[in-house]
Chains A and B, each alone.
Chain A
Amino acid sequence: MESTSDTAIKPLPDFSNRQLWQQDIPAAEQVMMEQLDARYKKILWMNITLQALIFLITSSVVFVVFFEKRIGGLIVFLPFTIWLGIRLITFNKVFTRKKYALREHDLIYQSGLIFKHRQIVPHNRIQHISIQESWLARHYGLASITAFTTGGAITIPGLDKNSALNIEALMLSKINQLNRTETAQNSEENPEESQD
């Protein structure tokens, strides 16, 4: 809001944060976010179907038990219809909003159409990484990857299994590299400290 703030917190120019994992042409200024694998749509469809079934059954139970099948009771299906309509209309947009990017120094994941959310985890804060495959995901050759920090985790679903493994390998090498430089620095710093 205050104009002074913008200048004060600009990143320094000599710091590079190139994108590491990218299938498209690299854009210099902006991060090109990657789409999730198109096969992940099928899993999303399955999820919606399952949720719709549960929603429909509960609505029907309410309709039969509480409204005793009266015509006016049909109103209990209104929330279900609205919910289903929104899910169907926004399906593609919700899917395309889910994007990720792996940069030199961090991992980014964004999602949400109504509640937009973009999470960034730097590599040097990651404790460990895990790859999960549900039975459904395995069927489609998909996997999700989770990076854990001590202050929360970030999960990217719907990746091609090979991409997930590649990302994991890249991140691990990055993390190990960071660890090595850190320990090297520590051993360098120690003699200085004892002189103080």
Chain B
Amino acid sequence: MQESAQQHIDFSQEQRQSVSGVWIEFGSMLKKYIRAFFVLIIYLFLKLEWIYYIYILGGVFLALILLAAVAYLQYQYTVFYIDQSKREFILKKGIFNREKFVLSIDKILQVNLNQSFWQQVFKVYAVEIETAGTSDQELKIPALDLKIAQALKSELIGINPQERLDTEPKVDLRAPIRIAYTKLVLHAFTADYLRSFLLMLGLIISVYSRIHEYAETFLQPVEDWESEAYHFFKTQSIALALLGIFLFSIFVNAVRNIIRYFDLKIRPEATTTWISYGLFSKKNILIQNDRIQTFSIETQLIQKKLGLFLLRISQSSADITADKKAKVKIIGLSENQAEQMFEQTYHEKIPTFSTHLKANFRIAILPFVLFFLLPTIAAAITIFITKSPLVLLIFPSLYLAASFYFIPKFKKSYQLSISNKFLKLRSEMWTSKALYVRVQDIQAVSIQQESWLKRAQLAHINLQTAGGNLRFSYGDERTLRNLADWILYQIESKTNHRK
């Protein structure tokens, strides 16, 4: 920020990107076209006589020149400036289809500086601007020098010079939160392996069928190795193969997570939090603390033993399901660091909750059926169908027996806690979760009840925020209605209250 003050870049004039923007543009277009055409080109190489190679190469060469020209024009036509009088940021792009984006600066949620491969080569940054109203990927300036990028960012976020004067003395130089590499690696190995296992399974199946397809069209005798593979799967029992895939997917998942969260650093500032991570593509995320809507600390049995916690925060966004950037996930935190992040976000410690609401036993029915009953039945059926030794039935039964530990635990832990300013939804089974929502962030309240719950006097409450919902199910109807009234009172009396 000091650098930007020294440089005095006048953003009210039309600005262009760094000249290397031409190459960035070129690189990204090249990537797109290679992805689209490489199958065709390889096909031509394989099919045509070598005489024609010269034409192909010539064509490719021509295309490259054309791309470079387009990239240059693209660079020429991408300009941006700030209209100070209207407090608007304007971005113009496009050669034939001219596009003009006008953003009210107050609506800007986040400004991200990103460096993917090409940007790293040319030592520039891509600036991505996010607003709540549009989840538009287009609001991106591909190549800016670091200083200009930072100046633009401070111009767009925390712009008001008086505001800055106000906040600057308050900036206590908080120590950055660093995630130890050992913790990162441990968390990478234990994080969502089930999902990556299913992904891997899907991938292997699709790759297998793809290979099968190609082999059938290009090679004739596929029968041999195919039947061999089939034989393997049949004889070596599917369970063993699945175990292999499982271990492999844990490994791949770990590597993926380590690459993704490599060098994870969190730098807390007075009203914002900087998060940066990534090995190959460095991500810099700037979070404005007052835009955070939900705050969730998660862990699971193994991770808890190792003292590993995951943090999931969501910011206000027009379309929370489509907008990936609105949700930020950080792994490898210690419990202390997670609490520190809470304090950083809400400027207060995690409150002690005085009121706790419990749910009826019906809350456990769905998890029991979904996580225990159905998998057990599925496993049992597979054992019968594949005519495997019936001794194997011991595994599903053991699994089902585990539900006698986990289901009551879940039922006992599931609770909604209420303090003056916060609501906390806790649940614990294999994974444990604590979701925090600030009362003032709630946008709408709804109470739901299926007609068969009327006699039991049970209902659900759904609290909507701009960054996701908090839903508490199977609570006492009257208490929930009271709670709804209380929340509405908190929200609606806010303006009166501050007088």
Q: A: which residues have CB within 8 A of B? A: 1-2, 4-6, 8-12, 15, 17, 105-106, 112-125, 149-152, 154, 178, 181-182, 185, 189, 193-194
Stretch at the interface among B36-44, B48-56, B448-456: B448-456
Whether the Cβ atoms of B448 and A152 lie closer than 8 Å is: no
Stretch at the interface among B92-100, B145-153, B225-233, B486-494: B486-494
Other than the known A6-B479, A17-B489, A150-B132, what 11 A-B pairs have Cβ atoms closer than 8 Å?
A: A5-B479, A8-B354, A117-B447, A118-B448, A124-B494, A124-B495, A125-B442, A125-B443, A151-B469, A154-B444, A185-B498
Q: How far is the CB of B179 from chain A (nearest CB, A)?
A: 31
Q: Which residues from A are CB-within-8-Å of B445?
A: 119-121
Q: Mark B433-447, 1 if CB is under 8 A from A, else 0.
A: 000000000111111
Q: B: which residues have CB within 8 A of A? A: 132, 166, 293, 316, 318, 354-358, 418, 442-451, 454, 464-467, 469, 475-476, 478-479, 482-486, 488-489, 491-496, 498-499
Q: How far is the CB of B385 from chain A (nearest CB, A)?
A: 27
In the complex the two chains form, what is the Cα distance from A178 to B358 in whole Å? 36
In the complex the two chains form, what is the Cα distance from A5 to B110 in whole Å? 39
In the complex the two chains form, what is the Cα distance from A12 to B486 in whole Å? 9
In the complex the two chains form, what is the Cα distance from A179 to B291 in whole Å? 19
Known: A124-B494, A151-B465. A118 touches B356 (CB 8 A): no
Q: Which residues from B are CB-within-8-Å of A6?
A: 478-479, 482
Whether the Cβ atoms of A118 and B447 lie closer than 8 Å is: yes
Known: A1-B358, A12-B489. A149 touches B479 (CB 8 A): no
Q: How far is the CB of A145 from chain B (nearest CB, A)?
A: 15
Q: Which residues from B are CB-within-8-Å of A116?
A: 448-451, 454
In the complex the two chains form, what is the Cα distance from A193 to B166 in whole Å? 8
Task: With CB as the reference atom, state the residue of chain B lying closest to A9.
Answer: B486
Known: A115-B450, A122-B492. A9 touches B444 (CB 8 A): no
Task: With CB as the reference atom, state the residue of chain A lying closest to B465.
Answer: A151
Whether the Cβ atoms of B357 and A5 lie closer than 8 Å is: yes
In the complex the two chains form, what is the Cα distance from A114 to B451 in whole Å? 5
In the complex the two chains form, what is the Cα distance from A150 to B485 in whole Å? 20
In the complex the two chains form, what is the Cα distance from A151 to B445 in whole Å? 10
Q: Residue A17 contacts which of B293, B444, B492 (CB distance < 8 angstroms)? A: B492
Known: A1-B476, A150-B466, A152-B464. A10 touches B444 (CB 8 A): no
Q: Which 8 A-B pairs have the closest CB atoms?
A: A151-B443, A150-B466, A105-B492, A151-B464, A119-B446, A149-B443, A9-B486, A116-B449
Task: With CB as the reference atom, state the residue of chain A lying closest to B492.
Answer: A105
In the complex the two chains form, what is the Cα distance from A61 to B50 in whole Å? 57
Whether the Cβ atoms of A178 and B444 lie closer than 8 Å is: no
Whether the Cβ atoms of A178 and B482 lie closer than 8 Å is: no
In the complex the two chains form, what is the Cα distance from A120 to B485 in whole Å? 10
Q: Which residues from B are CB-within-8-Å of A10?
A: 482, 486
Q: Which residues from B are CB-within-8-Å of A194?
A: 166
Q: How far is the CB of B290 from chain A (nearest CB, A)?
A: 13
Whether the Cβ atoms of B475 and A120 lie closer than 8 Å is: no
Q: How far is the CB of B189 from chain A (nearest CB, A)?
A: 36
Task: With CB as the reference atom, state the residue of chain A lying closest to B497.
Answer: A15
